[in-house]
Amino acid sequence: MWTINIALVGAIILFFVINSNSSQYTSKMTIKSQATTSLPVKSASVGTNTNANIVPKNNTISTTPSYTLAEVSQHNNETSCWTIIDGKIYDITSYIYSHPAGVNKILQGCGVDATKMYGRVGAHDVARLANTFVGNLK
């Protein structure tokens, strides 16, 4: 008689364990499926620009900052010297006092497009400026 009671209690416990695990499994599956559903897409309406949210084919978004010539021209002195070389902007402030031609020569290139000045001297190498790159010219 005891064995029947023990077997019955064991079966009841097993029943509850199995059912509680399956309900947890169902809950986890519901939560997971809700988490992986995509966000709703706005439908296009007449008169709106439907191309506004198109992502480039390679899924990359440029994070390189760009500045106008007016913005670069504000960096035209010994404390902040930006220069433009081939459409790239460099902060050459750290080179001002070590420039072989002197402070005045390098200050001529601050806040302006110095591509022509930079290209005239064979000693200049744009690769040396890689760590001073600020952004691109707009």
Mean pLDDT of 57-70: 82
Parallel/antiparallel/unpaired status of strands 88-91 and 80-85: antiparallel
Same domain (yes/no): 28, 73: no
- Domain tally, the chain: 2
Same domain (yes/no): 19, 73: no
- Predicted pLDDT at 87: 96
Residue 52 domain flag: no
- Predicted pLDDT at 42: 47
The pTM score is 0.55
Q: Give the whole-angstrom CA distance, residue 47 versus residue 109.
A: 48
- Predicted pLDDT at 137: 97
Dihedral sign for Cα 16, 19, 21, 23, please. Answer: negative
Same domain (yes/no): 76, 118: yes
Q: What is the mean pLDDT of the chain?
A: 75
Residue 133 domain flag: yes
Question: Among 77-81, 84-88, 99-103, 116-120, whose mean pLDDT is lowest?
Answer: 116-120
* Spatial CB neighbours of 137, under 8 Å, sequence gap ≥ 6: 66, 67, 68, 69, 72, 84, 87, 88, 89, 113
Inter-residue contact 89 to 135 (CB < 8 Å) = yes
- Predicted pLDDT at 75: 98
Same domain (yes/no): 73, 116: yes
**In 3D, which of 85, 68, 77, 97 has the Cα closest to residue 128?**
85
Is pLDDT at 58 greater than 50 in this prediction? Answer: yes
Same domain (yes/no): 75, 122: yes
Phi, psi of 49 (to 5 degrees): -85, 105
Is pLDDT at 21 greater than 70 in this prediction? Answer: no
**∠ Cα 99 105 107 (to 5°):** 90
Q: What percent of the chain has pLDDT over 70?
A: 54
CB atoms within 10 A of CB 112: 16
Q: Which domain holds residue 105?
A: 66-137
Question: Among 13-17, 105-109, 114-118, whose mean pLDDT is lowest?
Answer: 13-17
Is pLDDT at 79 greater than 70 in this prediction? Answer: yes
Q: What is the CATH number of the domain that holds 83?
A: 3.10.120.10
Residue 55 domain flag: no
